[in-house]
Copies of this chain bind each other. A is one copy, B any other.
C-alpha cells in the first residue's frame, strides 16, 4: 500500500506549499496578470491532485470489490453462546454443531438391597443439525455415554431424522421422541430434577417413524406412526412392534413470566411378538437396580396409554403435574392389566428467574440466569420438591408400587452450565413376595452439566 500512497503524498506536499501563496496574494491582491498566473498554477496543481485522488479511488474501489467477491458465497459462522452455526448467504444451507455432557456422582443410603455408589457420565451428546436445502432439515445426535454393549445395539443414536418444513404440518422421518408426556418431551437439559419422575416408566422414548407436527403461539398438535427404537439386535428375528401416538397442548395464558399449560396425549401400541415389560430405576441412574419391574408380560395383544398434563408458571414459581394410565390388552386366558403413574412438583427461583417454555412444541425450555458467574453475578438458584408414584400392581399381578419424595437444588452458573443436587427418598415400595418390598433407601445425587 505504501508505494501507492507516495504519489499522493508528494502532491500533498506541493499543495501545502502552493496553499501559502493565495493566502499572501489575497491580502496584497497584485496585478490581474499576476493573479491570473497564480490561479493558473493553482488550477494545474489542483488537476494533479485530483488525478492522484482518482487513481487512489479506483485502487480502493478494486480493493473493495475484491473483498466483496472473496466473501461472496462464504458460509458465515455465528453462535448463540453455546452451539456453533454456519449459514450461507441464501439460507439454503446451515450446519450447527453442539453437545451436552452430564456427569453424575450418586451416594445411596441403602436399606437391604445393595445400590452401588459411584460416578458416571449420564449423557455425552454430540449434536449435529442443519439444512441441506431450504425446507429440508436434519438432525443427528449420538450419546457416547451409551456404548454398544453385547447386544449390538444402536441405542447411542438419539435424534436422527430428516424433516421437511415446506408443508403444514412439518413432516419428520427417522428416529425422534414419540409425542407423549410433558416431562418426556422436555430436554434432559431443562428438567427441574436430575432424573424424570417415576411416570417415566411409561414414557415411550424415541423410535423410528413418521411424524406430523404443527403449532402456534399458544397451542401445539403432533402425532405419528412409529416402529421401535433403532433395533437392539439384528440377529433377533422377531417382528418389531408398532404404534400410533398423538398429543395436543394449549396455553390459556402465555406471557413473559406467566403461563398455564394444559396437555393430553394418547398412544396405541402392538408390542414385538406380544411381549411387554415396564420397569424403572428409583429416579437415580448410577445403580442398575429397579424396585419396580413387571417382568416380561406375555400374550399381549396391544396396549393403550393416555396422559394428562398441567403446569403453571407465576414468575419465579412453577407447578407441574402429569398422570399416565396404561391398559394392557391380553389374549384369551390372560387377564387385562391396568397400571398408572403420576407426579406433582413445585419449583421456585430464589434469584427471580422464570422457567422457559416453547409453545410450538408444548414443552419447557431453558432457564436464562439474570446474572452470570464470572461477571460478578451468582447465577440462578432454584429449589424444587416432587412427589412421584408408579403403580405396576393390578390385582394379583405384582410389578410393584413405589412412591418417592425428591428435594432438589439447581445452580445455573451460566446459560450453559448447571450444577444440581437431588435428595431422593424412596417412601415405600409395595411389592409383596419380592426382595424390593418395603425398601426405603435414601439417595443423594450430584450432577454437573454443560451444554455447548
Residues of A within 8 A of B (CB): 1, 5, 8, 12, 15, 19, 22, 25-26, 32-33, 35-36, 39-40, 42-44, 46-47, 49-51, 53-54, 56-58, 60-61, 63-65, 67-68, 71, 73-79, 81-82, 84, 86, 88, 92-93, 95, 97, 99, 101, 103, 105, 114-121, 124, 126, 128, 130, 132-136, 138, 140, 142, 144-145, 147-150, 152-154, 156-157, 160, 162, 164, 166, 173-175, 208-209, 227-228, 230-231, 234-240, 285-289, 372-375, 413-417, 448, 450-452
What CA separation (Å) do A452 and B394 show in the bound complex?
50
> Are B5 and A61 in contact, with the CB atoms below 8 A?
yes
What CA separation (Å) do A287 and B238 show in the bound complex?
9
> Are A144 and B154 in contact, with the CB atoms below 8 A?
yes
Is the contact region of chain A dominated by helix, strand, or loop, or is it mixed? mixed
> Are A1 and B76 in contact, with the CB atoms below 8 A?
no
> Are A240 and B78 in contact, with the CB atoms below 8 A?
no
> Are B47 and A19 in contact, with the CB atoms below 8 A?
yes
Residues from chain B with Cβ under 8 Å of A5 in the complex: 58, 61
> Are A145 and B174 in contact, with the CB atoms below 8 A?
no
> Are B60 and A57 in contact, with the CB atoms below 8 A?
yes
> Are B148 and A148 in contact, with the CB atoms below 8 A?
yes
> Are A162 and B35 in contact, with the CB atoms below 8 A?
no
Closest to A118 in B: B240
Residues from chain B with Cβ under 8 Å of A230 in the complex: 119-121, 145
> Are B53 and A57 in contact, with the CB atoms below 8 A?
yes
Q: B65, B117, B153: which contacts A1 (Cβ < 8 A)? A: B65
Q: How far is the CB of A354 from chain B (nearest CB, A)?
A: 21
Residues from chain B with Cβ under 8 Å of A67 in the complex: 64, 67-68, 71
> Are A26 and B40 in contact, with the CB atoms below 8 A?
yes
What CA separation (Å) do A135 and B414 show in the bound complex?
11
> Are A120 and B154 in contact, with the CB atoms below 8 A?
yes
What CA separation (Å) do A227 and B81 show in the bound complex?
31
Q: How far is the CB of A292 from chain B (nearest CB, A)?
A: 17
Closest to A52 in B: B54
Q: How far is the CB of A48 from chain B (nearest CB, A)?
A: 9
Q: B47, B142, B234: which contacts A286 (Cβ < 8 A)? A: B234
Closest to A147 in B: B148
Closest to A116 in B: B237
What CA separation (Å) do A294 and B450 show in the bound complex?
39
> Are A234 and B93 in contact, with the CB atoms below 8 A?
no
> Are A154 and B145 in contact, with the CB atoms below 8 A?
yes
Closest to A84 in B: B95
What CA separation (Å) do A132 and B99 show in the bound complex?
12
What CA separation (Å) do A133 and B42 show in the bound complex?
58
Among A68, A150, A162, A209, residue most surrounded by chain B Cβ atoms (within 10 Å): A162
> Are A93 and B81 in contact, with the CB atoms below 8 A?
yes
> Are A374 and B150 in contact, with the CB atoms below 8 A?
no
> Are A116 and B147 in contact, with the CB atoms below 8 A?
no
Residues from chain B with Cβ under 8 Å of A145 in the complex: 154, 157, 230
Residues from chain B with Cβ under 8 Å of A74 in the complex: 76-78
> Are A374 and B236 in contact, with the CB atoms below 8 A?
no
> Are B162 and A288 in contact, with the CB atoms below 8 A?
no
Closest to A35 in B: B36
Q: How far is the CB of A60 from chain B (nearest CB, A)?
A: 6
> Are B234 and A133 in contact, with the CB atoms below 8 A?
no
Residues from chain B with Cβ under 8 Å of A135 in the complex: 374
> Are A32 and B36 in contact, with the CB atoms below 8 A?
yes
> Are A288 and B208 in contact, with the CB atoms below 8 A?
no
Closest to A227 in B: B119
Which 4 residue pairs spanning A and B have beta carbons closest together?
A: A147-B148, A118-B240, A150-B150, A116-B237
> Are A174 and B101 in contact, with the CB atoms below 8 A?
yes
